[in-house]
Amino acid sequence: MIVFPKSLAKFWNKKEKTDQDAVRSTEGMTEQPEDPDEAIPASEPEQTAEPEQAAESEQAAESEQPSEPKEMTALDHIRELEQLLGMEPEKQENQVPEQKAQGEVPTKSDPSAEESSEPPILDLKVSSNGMRAVLEVTLHSLNQKVTPEEILAFLERKKISYGILEEEIREYCKQANFMQSLVCAVGKQVLDESDGRIEYYFETDKVLRPIQRKDGSLDYRELGLVKNISKGDSLCALILPNPGSDGMDVFGKVVPYHKGAVPVLPIGVNTQASEDGQTLISMVDGTIEMLPNAINVNEIFIVKGDVGRDSGNVSAKCSVLIQGDVKSGFSVSAGGDITVRGIVEHAHLEAGGNIVISQGMNGGGRGSLKAGGNISGKFFENAILDAQHEIYASIIMNSVVRAGGSLILNKDIATLAGGECTVGCGVYAKNVGNPSGSVTKVRIESRELNALLTESSKKLKNPEVLLHELDNARREMREFEDQFERLHQQFIQQHPEDDGTKFEQVNKAAEKKRIQFSKKIEELEEQHQQSEASLNSFLSYSIIAKGMVYPGVKMEIAGYTYNVIKETSCAKFYLTYGKIEWRPATPTDTPDTIKH
């Protein structure tokens, strides 16, 4: 009769490995008592072992004959499977049933089966917020038990009075799995009030974008710059917080909910609250100026002509509309937006909002524009531009440009040539540089990009490296399955009488091995997806040229540089894992794909 090794069932318990030779040496022997005078004679076990040793000698002699291949027994198959699975050999304690089957009786009793006079130790851990209580049980012997009544009495002594999970406690005692902790009580979670909010009845987005005509050109006179409001119209309303409810911890103590914040109506110039105090109403006809904590309704200050000698410098808290030009040597300052219908010479304009120049600007190397929002114009030459958000134009030449967002060049020309350009997100143009090779510097730098670069370098691997590791893991799993199936088929062929019971535990062990392979593959797949997502985030910080990029263009993204040495057409330049690369631009590479 073939005895199936019990070590397979204990393979995953990770107990201490026992040398198989030591196990064999103890077979057929009785444990020796400490007193040598009371030693039990071992003559009979030795006599019974002699035929077995002789049989083993004969079997070893037969195995040495090269002409006759040795037929593998079921035990040999099992051991080979154990070696394949990395399973531990059978421990000496598993030989005790075999010794009893041979009529031998151990002289010492198992100390783990002895009763302990000390009662089990119950320990309770309560979360810091009092919403969760966890019970831990320590036994002094394997025969000890804990009853639900003992646990409930213990919880009562610990002042646990709410949310006691009696059914879970009874099932816990029934299963007697005291090595695991038990969540024995759960409190009622508190439901805090949501914060109130302000609901606006007008468009709050300050981003101004030129409207595209049917012929594809941009209309810089229709930008949606002015937000009109009539007297008596509502500007915004106050939405009160949703109600909340108290909670209760496991000690029966009420946990009060937190009340939501109630915002204040942003009452500003020429505005007032309604009778119920929940709606803001305009008192005059005018334009809306939205500030961080107030909403004003102002009339636009209009200059009917040029800003020059006849008007002098202009300084206003509201928005300014200039119907003519801004001459050299003069300045315009506005708390809101500045709109110029003509051109701007080497003058100085500064706005808290957007600056829109319908024609363009020739700054003569001294003129400057500084905007807290966007800057828009047809052309900018020898000018200094500084915008917190985006810059829109048709052509920019020999200028110093800085944009917190992106630089977007439109229309057929859409050219950036000469000078320096520094943006926080990206550049979209048709041509960058010119055929004469003028030095054109383009730089992308921002806190968001640096943070993304730091996070990716610390937590994520290159997608190509992860893909290689993923392929290796899948290959190892396939090899394991092939080898296991081969040995399984050999066992079935040589032992057709087996009904599967002898191979059941081996199948369970193999299934656990499969689970390990699957878990590793899932982790690598998740890391690969995260790495690919990080790479896609880098694509938002890019330089796109739908036409041509000429030699003389020097690019820099997050400190990494790239010099264009030959003409490159229809290209997208981006940062990827420590270097700048480029690929052909696609129709989907539009200004909307550049991060704002």
Strands 415-423, 338-340: pairing is: unpaired
* Residue type, position 576, single letter: T
370 with 349: CB under 8 angstroms?
yes
251 with 160: CB under 8 angstroms?
yes
Task: Residue 590: count other Cβ atoms within 10 Å of its Cβ.
Answer: 13
| pLDDT at position 314 | 80
Task: Give the residue, 54 or 415, on which the prediction is more confident.
Answer: 415
Q: Where are the domains of the chain?
A: 118-186, 298-455+544-593, 458-538
| pLDDT at position 123 | 94
| Three-state secondary structure call for residue 593 | helix
| pLDDT at position 564 | 93
- Least confident span in 79-83, 298-302, 377-381, 382-386: 79-83
What percent helix, strand, coil does the chain show, rounded to 5? 30, 30, 45
Model confidence at 268: pLDDT above 70: yes
**Residue carrying the six token digits 């009339």:** 299
Reported as a pLDDT band with limits 50, 70 and 90, residue 286 is confident
Reported as a pLDDT band with limits 50, 70 and 90, residue 333 is confident
376 with 392: CB under 8 angstroms?
yes
What is the per-residue burial (b if ≥16 Cβ within 10 Å, else e) of 315-345?
ebebbbbbebbbbeebebbbbbbbbbbbbbb
Model confidence at 463: pLDDT above 50: yes
CA angle 8, 11, 14 (to 5 degrees): 160
Please name which of 274, 292, 554 lies closest in space to residue 442, comparing C-alpha atoms: 554
Task: Residue 447: count other Cβ atoms within 10 Å of its Cβ.
Answer: 8
Model confidence at 528: pLDDT above 70: no
- Least confident span in 18-22, 69-73, 164-168, 346-350: 18-22
How many residues are there in the chain? Answer: 596
Collect contacts of 527-530 with beta carbons under 8 A, ≥24 apart.
527/460, 527/461, 527/466, 528/463, 528/466, 528/467, 528/470, 530/460
Structure tokens at 367: 């003129």
Cα dihedral: 428, 430, 432, 436 (round 10) = -170
Most trustworthy range by pLDDT among 60-69, 102-111, 215-224, 497-506: 497-506
DSSP class of residue 54? H
| pLDDT at position 328 | 92
| pLDDT at position 72 | 54
Model confidence at 84: pLDDT above 70: no
End-to-end CA, the chain: 77
| pLDDT at position 54 | 40
Model confidence at 427: pLDDT above 80: yes
| pLDDT at position 565 | 92
Q: Is the Cα torsion angle 84, 86, 92, 97 positive or negative in sign?
A: negative
287 with 228: CB under 8 angstroms?
yes
Please tell me the pTM assigned to this model. Answer: 0.46
CB proximity list for 8: less than 8 A, separation 6 or greater: 78, 82, 87, 505, 506, 509
Task: Give the residue, 376 or 303, on which the prediction is more confident.
Answer: 376
- CA separation for the pair 376, 387 (Å, rounded): 10
Question: What angle, 0 to 180 degrees and rounded to 10, lies between the N-to-C axes of helices 463-494 and 504-539?
Answer: 170
| pLDDT at position 309 | 79
- For the chain, what is the mean pLDDT? 77
Q: What is the mean pLDDT of residues 33-58?
A: 39
Please name which of 491, 483, 576, 486 lies closest in space to residue 532, comparing C-alpha atoms: 576
Model confidence at 570: pLDDT above 80: yes
Write out the DSSP string of 56-125. Answer: HHHHHHHHT-TTSPPPPPHHHHHHHHHHHHTPPPPPGGGGHHHHHHTT---SS--GGGS--SSPPEEEEE
What's the half-sphere exposure (Cβ side, CA atoms, 13 Å) at 292?
Answer: 1
Model confidence at 6: pLDDT above 60: no
